[in-house]
Amino acid sequence: MASKDRILRQKEETRNNILGAAYDIVKEEGWNGLSMRKIADKIEYTAPIIYEYFSNKEAILEELTGKGFVKLTKELQSAIDKFEKPEDQLEAMWMTYWDFAFTNTEMYQLMFGVQMTCCAQRCSAQEGPYKLFTQVIAEVMKDSNPSQDIIKQKYFTFFSVIHGLIAINIINKSDILETINAQILKDAIGGIIKSIQ
Amino acid sequence: MASKDRILRQKEETRNNILGAAYDIVKEEGWNGLSMRKIADKIEYTAPIIYEYFSNKEAILEELTGKGFVKLTKELQSAIDKFEKPEDQLEAMWMTYWDFAFTNTEMYQLMFGVQMTCCAQRCSAQEGPYKLFTQVIAEVMKDSNPSQDIIKQKYFTFFSVIHGLIAINIINKSDILETINAQILKDAIGGIIKSIQ
DNA sequence: TACATTTGCCTAACAGTGTTAAACGATTTA
DNA sequence: TAAATCGTTTAACACTGTTAGGCAAATGTA
Measuring from the CA of residue B33 to each C1', which nucleotide is nearest? D16
Q: Work out the angle at residue A183's Cα, subtended by the Cα atoms of residues A182 and A186, and round it to the nearest 5 degrees.
A: 80
Query: What distances in angstroms separate CA A55 from CA A33, A60, A67, A187, one per listed residue?
Result: 20, 8, 18, 45
pLDDT number for residue B77: 96
Kind and range of the H or E run holding A139: helix A127-140
Fill in the amino acid letter for B6. Answer: R
Torsion of CA B156, A71, A15, A20, to 10 degrees: 100
Chain B 55-114, residues with CB within 8 Å of chain A CB atoms: 58, 61-63, 65-66, 69-70, 72-73, 76-77, 80, 86-87, 89-91, 93-95, 97-98, 101-102, 105, 108-114
User: Whole-number Å distance, CA B43 to C1' C12?
Assistant: 21
Q: Which residue is nearest to nucleotide D8 (CA to C1')?
A: A49
8-state DSSP, B126: T
Q: Of A4-18, A162-176, B73-87, where does the model show the most confidence?
A: B73-87
pLDDT at A78 over 90: yes
Q: Which phi and psi (to 5°) does residue A54 adopt?
A: -135, 140
8-state DSSP, B53: T
**Coil, helix or strand at residue A82:** coil
Strand partners, B114: A114
- Contact at 8 Å (CB) between B98 and A166? yes
pLDDT at B192 over 90: no
Cα B1 to chain center, whole Å? 46
Which among B110, B108, B39 has a CA at the least distance from the CA of A115? Answer: B110
Distance from C-alpha of A176 to C-alpha of B66, rounded to nearest angstrom: 30
User: Whole-number Å distance, CA B2 to C1' C2?
Assistant: 26
Nearest CA in chain B to A188: B157
Distance from C-alpha of B106 to C-alpha of B116, rounded to nearest angstrom: 11
Q: How confident is the model at residue B120 (pLDDT cuts 50, 70, 90)?
A: very low
Nearest CA in chain A to B171: A116
- Contact at 8 Å (CB) between A64 and A46? no
pLDDT number for residue B125: 63
Largest CA distance in chain A: 82
Q: Render the burial of B38-72: b for 16+ CB within 10 Å, e for the rest.
A: bbbeeeebeeeebeebbeeeeebbbbbbbebbeeb
Largest CA distance in chain B: 82
pLDDT number for residue B99: 95
Q: Render the burial of B163-187: b for 16+ CB within 10 Å, e for the rest.
A: bbbbbbbbbeeeebeeebbebbbeb
pLDDT at B93 over 90: yes
Q: How confident is the model at residue B171 (pLDDT cuts 50, 70, 90)?
A: confident
CB < 8 Å to B168, chain A: 156, 159-160, 163
Q: Which residue is nearest to nucleotide C8 (CA to C1')?
A: B49
Judged by average pLDDT, the poorest of A125-134, B43-52, B150-159 is: A125-134
Q: Which of B102, B126, B140 sits opposite A87 (nearest CB)?
A: B140
Distance from C-alpha of A89 to C-alpha of A144, rounded to nearest angstrom: 34
pLDDT number for residue A122: 54
> Considering chain A, what percentage of its residues have pLDDT values greater than 90?
53
Q: What is the mean pLDDT of residues B98-112?
A: 94
**Coil, helix or strand at residue A114:** strand
Kind and range of the H or E run holding B173: none
**Coil, helix or strand at residue A154:** helix
Cα A167 to chain center, whole Å? 10
Nucleic strand D within 7 A of Cβ B15: no
Measuring from the CA of residue A44 to each C1', which nucleotide is nearest? D8
User: Tens digits of per-residue pLDDT, A85-133?
Assistant: 999 999 999 999 999 999 999 999 999 888 876 554 455 667 788 889 8
pLDDT number for residue B65: 93
Which among A122, A171, A197, A13 has a CA at the least distance from the CA of B172? Answer: A122
Which among A192, A152, A190, A184 has a CA at the least distance from the CA of A168? Answer: A184
Tally of CA atoms within 13 A in the half-sphere of B43 that contains its CB: 25
Q: Which phi and psi (to 5°) does residue A158 adopt?
A: -55, -55
User: Tens digits of per-residue pLDDT, A177-194?
Assistant: 788 888 888 888 887 887
Cα A25 to chain center, whole Å? 18
Q: Which of B110, B156, B164 sits opposite A160 (nearest CB)?
A: B164
> Considering chain B, what percentage of its residues have pLDDT values greater than 90?
54
Chain D nucleotides with an atom closer than 7 Å to a protein C-beta:
7-11, 15-21, 27-28
pLDDT at B67 over 50: yes
